[in-house]
Amino acid sequence: MTVETNQERKRRQARDRKRKQRERERAHKEAVGARDFTFEMYRGTAEALERLAKVGDFEEQAEVLTLLIHGADKFAQRDPSRFMELISVTGRADEARSKR
């Protein structure tokens, strides 16, 4: 049996703690049904998301998206017309005319 130095023991314990932490996080994500969502975002959308995060004083843009999805879902369930109003997109030409 080899003798473990203090430094080696601390490293092993740190590795074990990190492994257990990763296992707990993985189990938690599985339990709550977490999944990754990746999409391509263009400049205008990224700028809009940054504005929303700033106005709402959010540290993470993912939180803004989560709350927007849940809010839109409530609109869709209670009043589909409000949901349709929320998701209606005007073209850039319409936006430019309205700014005049």
Task: Express each pLDDT in 23-70 by its tens digit.
Answer: 999 999 999 999 998 989 999 999 999 999 999 999 999 999 999 999
pLDDT at 94: 55
The confidence band for 92, taking pLDDT boundaries of 50, 70 and 90, is low
3-state secondary structure of 29: helix
Domain boundaries, the chain: 1-32, 59-100
Report the C-alpha gap between 76 and 91 in whole angstroms.
23
2-11, 17-26, 82-91, range with the lowest pLDDT: 82-91
Report the C-alpha gap between 19 and 45 in whole angstroms.
38
Give the count of beta carbons closer than 10 Å to the beta carbon of residue 89.
6
pTM of structure? 0.64
